[in-house]
Amino acid sequence: MDELPCNLSTMANGTEGPVAVAPYGDPGSLSMGVNACEAIGDRLAVVLKHHGVIAVGRDLRQALFACVYLEEAAKTISVALSTGLHMAEMTQEQIDEAIRVFHRYGQVTLDELDAAEAAAKAE
């Protein structure tokens, strides 16, 4: 598998779409880092083949969200594929909408929280 498809809205929220699997690189090698940088693209996470996951974000919270939501999506993908049936995937339009909604629904957005923390520190 060269990519983990985006199958949950939470994955879209956390990683901003499907997540690539970078080619294998020896542990600690320059090629491992280059492969990760090339594969991550504009997403917030990448799977390092036979190693694990690297997640990024504007802060630790965003990177952690990417890891948590990717792990949940990977579990769902594993179970779905084990059935032998077709696994539903989100369309690009659905992914884009999930990302937009995540930044504005039901909870304080990361930008609003950061602004509130900055204002509190300034007082």
- Give the CATH number for residue 48: 3.40.225.10
pLDDT at 57 over 90: yes
Residue 28, by phi and psi: left (phi above 0), alpha (psi -120 to 50) or beta? Answer: left
**Residue 72 burial by Cβ neighbours in a 10 Å radius (0-12, 13-18, 19+):** middle
pTM greater than 0.75 (yes/no): yes
Domain count, the chain: 1
If you average pLDDT over residues 31-57, what whole number do you get?
96
For a pLDDT cut of 90, what percent of the chain falls above it? 78
For residue 103, name the pLDDT band (cuts at 50, 70, 90): confident
Residue 82 has pLDDT above 90, yes or no: yes
Which one-letter DSSP state was computed for residue 88?
Answer: P
- Structural domain that includes position 92: 3-122
pLDDT band at 49 (very low <50, low <70, confident <90, very high): very high
Cα distance between residue 50 and residue 12, in whole Å: 23
> Can you tell me which residue has the tokens 């020896």?
26
Report the pLDDT value the prediction gives residue 107, as an integer from 0 to 100: 63
Unique residue bearing structure tokens 């900055």? 118
Question: Would you say residue 80 has pLDDT above 70?
Answer: yes
Q: What pLDDT is attached to residue 74? A: 95
100 vs 23, higher pLDDT = 23
